[in-house]
Chains A and B, each alone.
Chain A
Amino acid sequence: MPVILIVDDESHIRRLLRQSLEEIEEAGCELIEAENGREALELIEKHRPALVLLDVMMPEMNGFEVCHTIKNELKANDTYVIMLTAKGQEIDRIKGMECGADEYITKPFDPDEIVEKSYKIIKMT
């Protein structure tokens, strides 16, 4: 069963993401959540999710550091990472930080876009 990990320090955002992905969950995908980078890395090592939706702005360990660790230290290259960045942040500059993320989506995210992309990634369409 493919696993999708949602990482955001704000619980209501996790809630919204989870709700957006409800139909994917019903189609047989497992959704798990982490509220900080450390927790996220533990869960990634344990579950090897197909997709991580990763918030950039988090206290302690930010999304870039988490992503960098996923791609370089955990060598989880089959884990697809979508970074959630705030609207107004320049995507180009963020990309320049070279954390190895696969994709970027701005917040407030478009729920349909998230669902569409997730389907593609876990190849359940």
Chain B
Amino acid sequence: MPIKISTSKELYSMLIRFVNAAGVKLEIIETGETTPYFSNLAGEIQSEEVFNVVYNGKKIFEIRYEKNRLSAAEYAGSIIREFIEKKDIIAETLDIYKEINLLYNFCEKIPYASELEEIADYILKEAHKKIRFDYGLITRRTANCGIGIICNKLFLPESSLLPPLMKLEEFIFLDKKADIINVFPDNGQLLINCPNSIIYSPLEYHNQIAGVIILGLNSGSDRFFTAQNLKLLKTLSSIFAAVIENVGFAQEQRNIFSQIIYSLIETVEKLDQSSNGHSAKVSELCVGLGKSIGLLNSQIVKLKLAALLHDIGKIGLKSDDYEKHPEFGCEILEHLTKLNDILPAILHHHENYDGSGFPSGLKENNIPLFSRIIAVTDGFDQLVKKYHCDIQTAFEKLKQYSRTKYDPEIIDALRIYLELP
């Protein structure tokens, strides 16, 4: 790495200390400079003796010295060389320091990001600090949706570059390797308008390519990407690929869970064709009621699930044990640990406000709130569906059982929700 030394006071003072201690006269000139960096030769002494200081194969300084003082010049040369070497090592350390810092920030950030776009954006921003690319592009490939492009608008490639970049993307997707392209082949097979320099990496996780990252420099740029840039990009790509995988898993898990729930509901409804849509209607009413009495969103989600599944226990019923269905329901659902906290709501949805219900004979506020809500909405939908009552009549009938069967407050909440007088 070329370093201009002429401004360093530190080296200067080291050299002064040396010449004073050794009692020598030297003149030290940096390559390319006309005025000496250091001199105590005091003009009048004309010295023809020259020692060249060479570093990494290049002459960086020349030292003129008095006759017979070659060893002093050599020693001064070694001071300079060691100084420059030290500078190089520090510069290198600093560079690595920057990279570590980037990775630290990146790894810290990732657990908090839930959106892929957000992480992709962050990758480009952080990588830009270190790699200084002109444009960047991340593609995302999914089995059913094809190729998507995630771009930060700060680093958007020119629109004329997009088609060749997408061609390159296709190539990377098949090739599955990260690489640097600094010189494009003349025949232009890969890219038509050749950009100057490009690094790319597939987003690979367990042999699956989830997408591609491409970073490029504009043509005309005097810079090129380095192997170190590529290594950093590869590391970022692997982390990102793992994140994509994780986000995918989480999504899949949620999907499977809701599929299970809907299969269970379907099972209940198939048992009794007349109850068709009953669970869905009860849950719809519960959500409305829950909102109107000010439940939190997280509670409403649970209430909705409990309402959808409240009659699941009917699967196991024989003709004479109707009262067992809340317990059966709990027994069926307890295998889904995610549903554990809605089991009480299901178990007690046939409790009555005055304590005359089943299975436990709970009274008033001892009955879980969700069960009291489900009891009211369950009763209401039955009146509408089974007995073909209109809303007003159904509500009036229900109201007759306020305080005996139903919680009066929930009855009132239902009235407000239904916008009845």
Task: Decide whether A and B are members of one complex.
Answer: yes
A residues engaging B (CB < 8 A)? 15-16, 19-20, 25-26, 87, 108-112
Q: Does B235 interact with chain A (Cβ within 8 Å)?
A: no
- For residue A80, give the distance in angstroms from its CB to the closest CB of chain B: 22
Q: A16-B97, A87-B104 are in contact. Are A112 and B129 (CB under 8 A)?
A: yes
List residues of chain B with CB within 8 A of the CB of A87. 104
List residues of chain B with CB within 8 A of the CB of A25. 7
Give the CA-CA distance A16 to B97 in the complex, in Å. 9
- For residue A92, give the distance in angstroms from its CB to the closest CB of chain B: 16
Q: Are B100 and A108 in contact (CB under 8 A)?
A: yes
List residues of chain B with CB within 8 A of the CB of A26. 7
List residues of chain B with CB within 8 A of the CB of A111. 94, 97-98, 101
Give the CA-CA distance A111 to B129 in the complex, in Å. 10
- Pick the contact of B93 from A16, A109, A112 — CB < 8 Å? A16
Closest to A108 in B: B101
Closest to A17 in B: B94
Q: A26-B7, A108-B97, A112-B129 are in contact. Are A15 and B90 (CB under 8 A)?
A: yes
Give a binary string over B67-111; 1 marks a CB under 8 Å from any A CB, 0 the rest: 000000000000000000001001101100110111011000000
- For residue B80, give the distance in angstroms from its CB to the closest CB of chain A: 18
Closest to A19 in B: B90
- For residue A2, give the distance in angstroms from its CB to the closest CB of chain B: 16
Count B-side interface residues using an 8 Å CB cutoff.
14
CB-based closest 7 A-B pairs: A19-B90, A110-B101, A108-B101, A19-B94, A111-B98, A111-B94, A15-B90
List residues of chain A with CB within 8 A of the CB of B104. 87, 108
Closest to B10 in A: A18
Q: Are A16 and B94 in contact (CB under 8 A)?
A: yes
Give the CA-CA distance A54 to B304 in the complex, in Å. 56
Q: Are B91 and A19 in contact (CB under 8 A)?
A: yes
Give the CA-CA distance A109 to B93 in the complex, in Å. 13
- For residue A11, give the distance in angstroms from its CB to the closest CB of chain B: 11
List residues of chain B with CB within 8 A of the CB of A108. 97, 100-101, 104
Q: Are A110 and B98 in contact (CB under 8 A)?
A: yes
Q: Are A112 and B98 in contact (CB under 8 A)?
A: yes
Give the CA-CA distance A16 to B87 in the complex, in Å. 10
Closest to A110 in B: B101
Closest to B93 in A: A16
- For residue A109, give the distance in angstroms from its CB to the closest CB of chain B: 7
Give the CA-CA distance A109 to B87 in the complex, in Å. 19
- For residue A6, give the distance in angstroms from its CB to the closest CB of chain B: 14
- For residue A53, give the distance in angstroms from its CB to the closest CB of chain B: 15
List residues of chain A with CB within 8 A of the CB of B90. 15-16, 19
List residues of chain B with CB within 8 A of the CB of A15. 90
Could you jot down 26 A-B contacts, CB within 8 Å? A16-B90, A16-B93, A16-B94, A16-B97, A19-B87, A19-B90, A19-B91, A19-B94, A20-B94, A25-B7, A26-B7, A87-B104, A108-B97, A108-B100, A108-B101, A110-B98, A110-B101, A110-B102, A110-B105, A110-B129, A111-B94, A111-B97, A111-B98, A111-B101, A112-B98, A112-B129
- For residue A25, give the distance in angstroms from its CB to the closest CB of chain B: 8
Give the CA-CA distance A56 to B90 in the complex, in Å. 23
- For residue B6, give the distance in angstroms from its CB to the closest CB of chain A: 11
List residues of chain A with CB within 8 A of the CB of B129. 110, 112
- Apart from A87-B104, A110-B102, A111-B97: 8 A-B pairs, beta carbons within 8 A: A16-B90, A16-B94, A20-B94, A108-B104, A109-B101, A110-B101, A110-B129, A112-B129
